[in-house]
Amino acid sequence: MTFQTLVFYVLAAILLGSAARVITAKNPVHAALYLVLAFFSGAGLWLLIQAEFLGISLVLVYVGAVMVLFLFVCMMLDINFEKLRTGFWKSLPLASAVALLMVVEMALVFTGKNSGVAGVSQLPEHPAGYSNTKELGKVLYTQFVYPFEIAAIVLLVAIVAAIALTMRGRKDTKYQDPGQQAKVKRADRVRVVKMAAEKPQPTDVAEQSAK
Protein backbone atom coordinates (compact mmCIF):
# COMPACT_ATOMS: atom_id res chain seq x y z
CA MET A 1 0.00 0.00 0.00
CA THR A 2 1.44 3.36 -1.07
CA PHE A 3 1.31 6.56 0.94
CA GLN A 4 -1.22 8.07 -1.50
CA THR A 5 -3.55 5.10 -1.06
CA LEU A 6 -3.29 5.36 2.73
CA VAL A 7 -4.15 9.07 2.62
CA PHE A 8 -7.12 8.29 0.38
CA TYR A 9 -8.55 5.73 2.80
CA VAL A 10 -8.01 8.04 5.78
CA LEU A 11 -9.74 10.99 4.09
CA ALA A 12 -12.54 8.77 2.83
CA ALA A 13 -13.16 7.40 6.33
CA ILE A 14 -13.22 10.92 7.80
CA LEU A 15 -15.59 12.04 5.04
CA LEU A 16 -18.03 9.18 5.65
CA GLY A 17 -17.94 9.64 9.43
CA SER A 18 -18.47 13.39 9.29
CA ALA A 19 -21.28 12.99 6.73
CA ALA A 20 -23.02 10.55 9.08
CA ARG A 21 -22.65 12.98 11.99
CA VAL A 22 -24.18 15.79 9.91
CA ILE A 23 -27.55 14.03 9.92
CA THR A 24 -27.32 12.49 13.41
CA ALA A 25 -26.00 15.43 15.48
CA LYS A 26 -28.66 17.00 17.69
CA ASN A 27 -27.06 20.43 17.76
CA PRO A 28 -27.32 22.19 14.35
CA VAL A 29 -24.08 24.08 14.99
CA HIS A 30 -22.26 20.78 15.54
CA ALA A 31 -23.84 19.41 12.35
CA ALA A 32 -22.57 22.44 10.42
CA LEU A 33 -19.07 21.95 11.82
CA TYR A 34 -19.13 18.29 10.80
CA LEU A 35 -20.17 19.41 7.32
CA VAL A 36 -17.16 21.74 7.23
CA LEU A 37 -14.97 18.74 8.09
CA ALA A 38 -16.62 16.76 5.30
CA PHE A 39 -15.88 19.55 2.83
CA PHE A 40 -12.24 19.65 3.90
CA SER A 41 -11.94 15.90 3.46
CA GLY A 42 -13.56 16.11 0.03
CA ALA A 43 -11.12 18.87 -0.94
CA GLY A 44 -8.26 16.60 0.09
CA LEU A 45 -9.62 13.86 -2.18
CA TRP A 46 -9.78 16.35 -5.06
CA LEU A 47 -6.14 17.24 -4.45
CA LEU A 48 -5.16 13.57 -4.57
CA ILE A 49 -6.39 13.30 -8.16
CA GLN A 50 -4.54 16.51 -9.09
CA ALA A 51 -7.69 18.65 -9.32
CA GLU A 52 -6.41 21.49 -7.18
CA PHE A 53 -8.82 24.06 -8.60
CA LEU A 54 -11.86 22.05 -7.52
CA GLY A 55 -10.35 21.41 -4.09
CA ILE A 56 -9.53 25.06 -3.43
CA SER A 57 -12.92 26.14 -4.78
CA LEU A 58 -14.63 23.72 -2.40
CA VAL A 59 -12.78 25.21 0.57
CA LEU A 60 -13.16 28.86 -0.43
CA VAL A 61 -16.76 28.81 -1.63
CA TYR A 62 -18.49 26.28 0.61
CA VAL A 63 -16.38 26.40 3.77
CA GLY A 64 -15.44 30.08 3.58
CA ALA A 65 -18.79 31.51 2.50
CA VAL A 66 -21.76 29.16 2.57
CA MET A 67 -21.03 27.38 5.83
CA VAL A 68 -20.05 30.56 7.67
CA LEU A 69 -23.38 32.09 6.66
CA PHE A 70 -25.19 28.92 7.72
CA LEU A 71 -23.49 29.00 11.11
CA PHE A 72 -24.53 32.62 11.66
CA VAL A 73 -28.13 31.75 10.75
CA CYS A 74 -28.17 28.74 13.09
CA MET A 75 -26.79 30.77 15.99
CA MET A 76 -29.01 33.82 15.45
CA LEU A 77 -32.38 32.13 14.85
CA ASP A 78 -34.31 30.88 17.85
CA ILE A 79 -35.69 27.62 16.44
CA ASN A 80 -36.90 24.67 18.47
CA PHE A 81 -34.85 21.94 16.77
CA GLU A 82 -36.04 19.29 19.17
CA LYS A 83 -39.58 19.74 17.85
CA LEU A 84 -38.36 19.51 14.26
CA ARG A 85 -36.64 16.18 14.99
CA THR A 86 -39.73 14.59 16.50
CA GLY A 87 -40.33 12.10 13.68
CA PHE A 88 -36.68 11.43 12.85
CA TRP A 89 -36.36 7.94 14.35
CA LYS A 90 -39.71 6.86 12.91
CA SER A 91 -38.49 7.62 9.40
CA LEU A 92 -35.06 6.04 9.96
CA PRO A 93 -35.92 2.53 8.60
CA LEU A 94 -37.32 3.94 5.37
CA ALA A 95 -34.39 6.35 5.01
CA SER A 96 -31.92 3.50 5.60
CA ALA A 97 -33.60 1.37 2.94
CA VAL A 98 -33.49 4.22 0.41
CA ALA A 99 -29.83 4.93 1.22
CA LEU A 100 -28.94 1.24 0.84
CA LEU A 101 -30.74 1.13 -2.50
CA MET A 102 -28.78 4.17 -3.70
CA VAL A 103 -25.49 2.58 -2.65
CA VAL A 104 -26.36 -0.62 -4.53
CA GLU A 105 -27.30 1.37 -7.64
CA MET A 106 -24.03 3.33 -7.57
CA ALA A 107 -22.06 0.11 -7.07
CA LEU A 108 -23.77 -1.45 -10.08
CA VAL A 109 -23.02 1.62 -12.18
CA PHE A 110 -19.33 1.73 -11.26
CA THR A 111 -18.80 -2.01 -11.63
CA GLY A 112 -20.44 -2.18 -15.04
CA LYS A 113 -18.52 -2.89 -18.22
CA ASN A 114 -19.19 0.55 -19.73
CA SER A 115 -18.30 2.57 -16.64
CA GLY A 116 -14.64 2.91 -17.58
CA VAL A 117 -13.48 2.48 -13.98
CA ALA A 118 -11.74 -0.82 -14.65
CA GLY A 119 -9.47 0.77 -17.25
CA VAL A 120 -8.21 3.46 -14.86
CA SER A 121 -5.22 2.09 -13.00
CA GLN A 122 -3.15 5.15 -12.16
CA LEU A 123 -3.21 8.82 -13.00
CA PRO A 124 -0.75 9.83 -15.71
CA GLU A 125 2.22 11.96 -14.78
CA HIS A 126 1.90 15.58 -15.87
CA PRO A 127 4.77 17.75 -17.11
CA ALA A 128 6.49 20.30 -14.88
CA GLY A 129 4.50 23.35 -16.07
CA TYR A 130 1.08 21.68 -15.95
CA SER A 131 -1.79 23.67 -14.45
CA ASN A 132 -5.12 22.05 -13.77
CA THR A 133 -6.80 25.46 -13.48
CA LYS A 134 -5.53 26.54 -16.90
CA GLU A 135 -6.65 23.31 -18.57
CA LEU A 136 -10.07 23.53 -16.94
CA GLY A 137 -10.44 27.13 -18.14
CA LYS A 138 -9.54 26.12 -21.71
CA VAL A 139 -12.14 23.36 -21.75
CA LEU A 140 -14.80 25.50 -20.06
CA TYR A 141 -14.46 28.52 -22.36
CA THR A 142 -13.94 26.62 -25.63
CA GLN A 143 -15.74 23.28 -25.71
CA PHE A 144 -18.42 24.08 -23.10
CA VAL A 145 -18.73 27.85 -23.60
CA TYR A 146 -22.39 27.75 -24.68
CA PRO A 147 -23.61 25.55 -21.78
CA PHE A 148 -21.61 27.79 -19.45
CA GLU A 149 -23.31 30.94 -20.77
CA ILE A 150 -26.74 29.29 -20.68
CA ALA A 151 -26.17 28.30 -17.02
CA ALA A 152 -25.16 31.89 -16.23
CA ILE A 153 -28.35 33.23 -17.87
CA VAL A 154 -30.50 30.71 -15.96
CA LEU A 155 -28.90 31.76 -12.66
CA LEU A 156 -29.41 35.44 -13.51
CA VAL A 157 -33.09 34.83 -14.28
CA ALA A 158 -33.45 32.92 -11.00
CA ILE A 159 -31.93 35.83 -9.05
CA VAL A 160 -34.21 38.36 -10.73
CA ALA A 161 -37.25 36.15 -10.12
CA ALA A 162 -36.36 35.69 -6.44
CA ILE A 163 -35.99 39.45 -5.97
CA ALA A 164 -39.27 40.12 -7.81
CA LEU A 165 -41.15 37.58 -5.69
CA THR A 166 -39.83 38.86 -2.36
CA MET A 167 -40.33 42.57 -3.05
CA ARG A 168 -43.73 43.51 -1.68
CA GLY A 169 -45.16 46.97 -1.35
CA ARG A 170 -45.86 47.51 2.34
CA LYS A 171 -47.44 50.71 3.53
CA ASP A 172 -45.56 50.76 6.82
CA THR A 173 -42.16 50.43 5.14
CA LYS A 174 -40.06 53.56 4.75
CA TYR A 175 -37.87 53.66 1.68
CA GLN A 176 -36.05 56.20 -0.43
CA ASP A 177 -36.69 56.98 -4.10
CA PRO A 178 -33.47 58.33 -5.67
CA GLY A 179 -35.40 59.55 -8.72
CA GLN A 180 -37.70 61.72 -6.61
CA GLN A 181 -34.75 62.97 -4.57
CA ALA A 182 -32.98 64.11 -7.73
CA LYS A 183 -36.06 66.04 -8.91
CA VAL A 184 -36.38 68.05 -5.69
CA LYS A 185 -35.90 71.82 -6.11
CA ARG A 186 -34.87 74.44 -3.63
CA ALA A 187 -38.42 75.74 -3.29
CA ASP A 188 -39.55 72.29 -2.19
CA ARG A 189 -37.04 72.19 0.65
CA VAL A 190 -36.84 75.74 1.98
CA ARG A 191 -39.58 78.33 2.33
CA VAL A 192 -38.76 81.92 3.23
CA VAL A 193 -41.48 83.66 5.23
CA LYS A 194 -41.44 87.42 5.71
CA MET A 195 -42.91 88.53 9.01
CA ALA A 196 -43.42 92.05 10.26
CA ALA A 197 -41.32 93.07 13.24
CA GLU A 198 -43.25 93.32 16.49
CA LYS A 199 -42.40 95.90 19.12
CA PRO A 200 -42.36 94.61 22.69
CA GLN A 201 -45.00 95.95 25.03
CA PRO A 202 -43.91 98.22 27.94
CA THR A 203 -44.97 95.62 30.47
CA ASP A 204 -42.70 93.07 28.87
CA VAL A 205 -39.73 95.48 29.00
CA ALA A 206 -40.34 96.13 32.71
CA GLU A 207 -40.50 92.41 33.48
CA GLN A 208 -37.26 91.75 31.61
CA SER A 209 -35.44 94.59 33.47
CA ALA A 210 -36.71 93.26 36.81
CA LYS A 211 -35.30 89.85 35.98
Among 92, 83, 76, residue whose Cα is nearest residue 24: 92
Running along the chain, 211 residues long, what does each successive block of 10 average in pLDDT? 86 93 82 89 88 86 82 73 70 88 87 67 70 84 91 94 77 74 80 77 60 57
Q: Do 35 and 20 form a contact (C-beta atoms < 8 A)?
A: no
* The pLDDT of residue 122: 65
* The pLDDT of residue 17: 93
* The pLDDT of residue 75: 74
* The pLDDT of residue 208: 59
* The pLDDT of residue 98: 93
* The pLDDT of residue 196: 81
Cα–Cα separations (whole angstroms), residue 196 to 85, 144, 193, 199:
76, 80, 10, 10
